[in-house]
Amino acid sequence: MQKVYIAGYGLTKVGEHWDKSLETLMAESALKALDYTGLSRVDEICVSNVYGEVLQEQLVLGSVLAEELGVSGVPAVRVEAGAASGAAAIRYAVNAIQSGITNVVLVCGGEKLTDGTQEESLSLLSMDERYEVAGEIGSHFFSTAALLYRMYMRRYDVKQDGIASFSVISHENASTVQHAQYPFKIGLENVLNSPYVAEPLHRLETTAQADGAAALVLCSENIARKLDSPKVLVSGIHLATDFPNPFDREDPLHIQSLAASTSSLLSMRGISRGEVSFIELFDAASILAALSLESSGFIPRGKSGEAAMSGRLSLNGELPINTFGGLKARGHPVGATPIYQVAEAYLQLTRQAGKNQLDNVRFGLVESLAGFGSSSVSILLEEV
């Protein structure tokens, strides 16, 4: 199989883009990625978007983006796997290049959640679970997260301080990030004094409505050699699934799909967890950061809060996480979020992370979830 490289990226600032359409945001990030690599054309386009057919009443976003870029005739598709759609789109591109079908794929994720109300956005987030289980009883994403949070505290006999500290870490890291939605620091007391979304989950432990778009250029080795831009090797990618509702699983606090995707990925590559330099986690709610670390085997069960409070997970810690602020502080424009995660890992591995740059990085792990692990995608990136 051919090796696959990331050779370029393009990001828009995450926030509220009232003056821009979804396709404008996507085209903006895509053009940045193409300009970065010096390419004017690609072999295929793969778009990641989750809610466009509801909020913008638009399908065929691959074709729409191709038209915006002036490259009509290029094969273009949209991939959907809930909030893991961006990671699934990258997997599509990797498979296409590895098989020899194509050499250069533009992957672009975009979402414009502010075209809907906050209530609509919250309802849409819950679509990653089975509707007849969650929707019909009025449960939403954050209320499910709150139930898991409460279950976690009772099982492991821990206080909220540790889990809430994940938000503090994310905001600390985002405070120097230009493309972040919330580039400012917060203290633990700010988190714990913020209103409940669903007890015990506080407002400052959750994400908010966000617009944004991100793009990556993936290419084969022969193309990578011809480009002057920095490259990162896609060392592996793995997707796994589980029951959409966490309370249908044997253990609701264990994200089995993420455990499977990460373990299979590291095993295939032949590296240990200790060799992973940093992790970009999917922290749509603080409790998900803890469950992700524990389910993927990096922290013992019930000990994530201790790790967060000890400094072990900070930028200068043993295992840095969410080095640009994660979903919590960088923002969560759902269809684009995994693309942001991978782009940020790319910046770390090519030594372009600025004030957030880590020392001695070789492997970066990106973990993306749909809902609470109905789908999980793990991506391992390696410096070149």
The pLDDT value recorded for residue 119 is 77
pLDDT class of 254 with cuts at 50, 70, 90: very high
**All domains of the chain in start order, with CATH:** 4-117+209-232 (3.40.47.10), 140-207+235-383 (3.40.47.10)
The pLDDT value recorded for residue 288 is 98
Helical spans, DSSP H, in the chain: 22-37, 52-55, 61-69, 85-98, 118-125, 141-156, 160-174, 188-193, 221-224, 256-269, 286-295, 304-310, 337-349
Q: Is the pLDDT of residue 136 over 90?
A: no
Rounded average pLDDT over 183-212: 97
Rounded average pLDDT over 58-85: 94
What distance in Å separates the CA atoms of residue 294 and residue 292, rounded to the nearest whole number? 5
The pLDDT value recorded for residue 327 is 98
The pLDDT value recorded for residue 134 is 67
pTM, two decimal places? 0.96
The pLDDT value recorded for residue 139 is 76
Q: Is the pLDDT of residue 125 over 90?
A: no
Rounded average pLDDT over 230-234: 98
Residue 67, burial from CB neighbour count under 10 angstroms (0-12, 13-18, 19+): middle
The pLDDT value recorded for residue 127 is 75
Which residues, in sequence order, are CB contacts of 224 under 8 Å at separation 6+? 5, 7, 231
Neighbours of 98 (CB within 10 A): 16
Which residues, in sequence order, are CB contacts of 139 under 8 Å at separation 6+? 126, 129
pLDDT class of 137 with cuts at 50, 70, 90: low
What distance in Å separates the CA atoms of residue 141 and residue 128, rounded to the nearest whole number? 8
Q: Is the pLDDT of residue 249 over 90?
A: yes
DSSP-based three-state secondary structure for 306: helix
pLDDT class of 306 with cuts at 50, 70, 90: very high
The pLDDT value recorded for residue 20 is 96
pLDDT above 70 as % of the chain: 98
DSSP-based three-state secondary structure for 380: strand
pLDDT class of 72 with cuts at 50, 70, 90: confident
CB 180 within 8 A of CB 330: yes
The pLDDT value recorded for residue 135 is 65
